[in-house]
Structure 1
Amino acid sequence: MEAFVVKNYGKKEKLHLTTVSEPALKQDEVLVQIHSAGVNLLDSRIRNGDFKLFLPYKTPFVNGHDMAGTIVKVGSAVNNFKVGDEVYARPADYRIGTFAEYIAVNEIDLAFKPKNISMEEASSIPLVGLTSWQALVEIANLQKGQKVFIQAGSGGVGTFAIQLAKHLGAYVATTTSSSNIQLVKSLGADLVIDYRTEDFETKLKDYDVVLHSNHEAKILEKSLRILKPNGQLISLTGPPTPEFAEKIGLPWHLKLLMKLLSRSTTKKAKKLNVNFNFLFMRADGKQLSEITKLIEAGKIRPVIDKVFPFEQTNDAIAYVESSRAKGKVVIKVK
């Protein structure tokens, strides 16, 4: 089969279109013929080697973290899926590889594709959907009437998280550029701040939750300061914490390193009497099935900026890296 492969780590590296073997199927896995694959900043960060410390993929490997497609084979121990089922998933770490014609996915990471959206739309959902769910439902336990600040509202996670937060009954503030204000309002944002001309710290106060996705240290500090006592900041960009290291079973020296990396931030959070969490989302078919219900009920809609042909996968990644995308970027494989 054809697949886009990371041959060497590096920011200037391109993915290589290569003929590779079809994935071998374990007894608890299904083989999916991929129709479409979502593109995420995570794909470029994995290629760059940003997460090599705790997620060391051995090169060469197939990149890609989001997909929708049709099952063509099932393992002997698979109970919930059959050949012909239309499915979508964010495959588990070390089992990624959606920039390809086929992928083997454990059935626990899989969900049925929502019936009311296309394959392209479905492939845009898993990573951003699960990230939003794990941040707002699992960690924050966001409740009706609470206030949440979602950074970068017009991005992939932002467009999903705004809709999920509104479904949960929260008051939603977000940042975006002036050209995207109407988009984020249409998704349910109550307060929109133009990050180019306005300082969110002067507009926001006593928030229950911040979903943080910015890399600048000063933005992280400001975000901590807008929380109410015992409020929660959930960061998608770090720094990673010892608790995260413990959860994914890293050795003691990496736990120590992450303690050092996060010490300054956790100190500031403690001084402000707020909570700091680092989230590196994980695959979860059950949570994705809950997301399917919300999409089929019309509570959440996919937001797609562009669909690229499979051959232009590197162009799709470059477009995501430009930070210009409104919602998600998708590759049509089949």
Structure 2
Amino acid sequence: MVEKILENKDPKLEAMTVDHEAPAPKEIVVDEPRLTRVARPLRHIRHIPVKSLVFHSKHGPITFSYENKIKLPINKNKLVVQVNYAGLNPIDMKIKNGYTKPIYGEVGVGREYSGVVTHVGDNLTDRWNVGDEVYGIYYHPRLAIGSLQSSLLIDPRVDPILMRPQNTLSPEKATGSLFCLGTAFNLLARLTEKGQLNSESNVLINGGTSSVGMFTIQLLKRHYRVSKKLVIVTSGNGSTVLSEHFPDLKDEMIFINYLSCRGKSSRPLRNMLESGQVVDYDDFSSLKETEKYTQGKFNVVLDFIGGYDILSHSSSLIHSEGVYVTTVGDYVGDYKKDVFDSWDNPSANARKMFGSLLWSYDYVHFYFDPNFKIVSKKNEWIHECGRLLNEGTVECIVDKVYSWKNLKDAFSYMATQRAQGKLIIKVDGF
């Protein structure tokens, strides 16, 4: 086949030339190669990867996020802490309730933590070292970030942080200590400074098995040495829980069962004052004939549950020139609905403004912001709380410890408002 094609070729075509109208292109001149200095490639910028638990709205789930990173090198006045445990607080649910629509981006969870220092800023090397075991409060609710992260960038000038004594304070107990203990300590310190609390005060506590209530009981009896018995309003097996956790204080407390009187704790309280007999815990209508009550009206009422019942009978319960302090307000706390930093109702606002003119006692709605820029520099509460924990004067009662993969179960349990102590989340390595 090839041979036939070659036999039929035309010799004229071999000699034919074609002239092109366009000229040939010019030669491209190439400069001599020269090395120049350029900006550092992005791959050389170092970060600490961070895994965190976040949500986008009150209706959405809490999920893992990997968006946040800590840039290296860190600021010379800051620390990086690898988080091992984080603490939950009712404020986490109140913050979540405030985000009705997913338009604000990621919102973090958790206000307390314990862990290990992994990076130290240049200005802090004389006080902190890599490997230090620490615990503290990471309270930035309006910045929408939380402590449930694998690593936190801490500013000790703002964020309360302490060394954890490994021999006397477990990481779980350390995690749940400072926020609620700080609340109780600052609340009582304020009353003492104003002359409203002393060793002879008669104190009523509404919500004894709340974390703040438990720390308050310990501080009143072991630190402030209040001599009179504390009257504790609690519910269910609250009296048993408190007696078992604080056996040395068992005989220093009188219990009122919130459930047996259907939330109207003022009724057994008035009954006790009028009769001069201690009311039976499980049946407020019956009296313990063998146990007298001679302490009279209350100088201090501390409310960690909320409600208006005790206030509505304040004239028969609160002593002249006494004080009523609440951390909740007139409404009974509802973790499923309450919103962080919401306004009090009109009657509570009126008491705050005109209470001293209308009643013989003082009314205080106490808020605790642990940031050092908010709290007075003269107030060394963080070191005092650390000392009380180290010496065993007070201890954190931990109810349950969850893996951070089971945060949904932890939130569900907290929503029942039956927790009797702190809920702690164990943060997995990342």
- Structure 2 length normalisation: TM-score? 0.66
Among 1, 4, 7, which residue is 2:56 paired with? Answer: 7
Letter in 1 for 2:97: N
Q: Cα deviation per residue 1:48-72 (whole Å; 9 max; x = unaligned)?
A: 119x9xxxx9542212111111111
Q: Does 1:184 align with 2:242?
A: yes
On the 8 A contact 2:213/2:304 being kept in 1, the answer is no
2:341 corresponds to 1:283: no
For 1:310, the aligned partner's letter is W
Task: State the distance in 2 between where 1:325 and 1:228 align.
Answer: 32
1:149 aligns with 2:204: yes
Task: Judge which range, 225-234 or 82-91, deviates more.
Answer: 225-234
Among all aligned residue pairs of Structure 1 and Structure 2, give the percentage whose two residues are the same amino acid: 22
Take 2:131 and 2:176, find their aligned partners in 1: how far apart are those partners? 21
Q: How many Å separate the matches in 2 of 1:259 and 1:80?
A: 46
TM-superposed CA distance for 1:219, in Å, is: 4.3
Say how many residue pairs are matched.
Answer: 313
Q: Residue in 2 aligned with 1:234?
A: 325
Contact 1:110 1:284 in 2 (8 A): no
Q: How do 1:124-139 and structure 2 match up within 5 A?
A: 124-139=176-191
The structure 1 segments of at least 4 consecutive aligned residues displaced by more than 6 Å after TM superposition are: none
- Residue 66 (structure 1) aligns with: 112
CA distance in 2, matches of 1:71, 1:124: 18
Q: Could you give the per-residue CA deviations for residues 62-111 of structure 1, whole angstroms, max 9, x where no partner exists?
A: 12111111111122333532221111111233465111111122214211
- Structure with the higher fraction of residues in helix conformation: 1
The structure with higher relative contact order (CA 8 Å, sep 6+) is 1
- Gap change, CA 1:208 and 1:112, over 3 Å in 2: farther
- Which position in structure 1 is the counterpart of 2:218? 163
Counterpart residue number, 2:335: none
Contact (CA 8 Å) 1:212, 1:223: kept in 2 or not?
no
Range with bigger deviation, 164-173 or 61-70:
164-173
Partner secondary structure for residue 129 of structure 2: coil
CA distance in 2, matches of 1:206, 1:216: 19
Residue of structure 2 equivalent to 1:262: 348
407, 413, 423: which one aligns with 1:329: 423
Counting only pairs closer than 5 Å after superposition, residues 1-80 of structure 1 correspond to structure 2 as 1-8=50-57, 10=58, 12-23=59-70, 25-49=74-98, 58-78=104-124, 80=127
Instruction: Name the TM-score, length of structure 1 as normaliser.
Output: 0.83
CA distance in 1: counterparts of 2:115 and 2:203, whole angstroms: 34
CA distance in structure 2 between the aligned counterparts of 1:225 and 1:27, rounded to whole angstroms: 58
* Alignment partner of 1:112 is 2:163: yes
Task: Could you tell me which runs of 5 or more consecutive residues in structure 1 were left unpaired when the two chains were aligned.
Answer: 240-249
CA RMSD of aligned residues (A): 2.9
Residue 295 of structure 1 aligns to a residue in which SS? helix
Pair 1:215–1:35, CA change in 2 (3 A): same
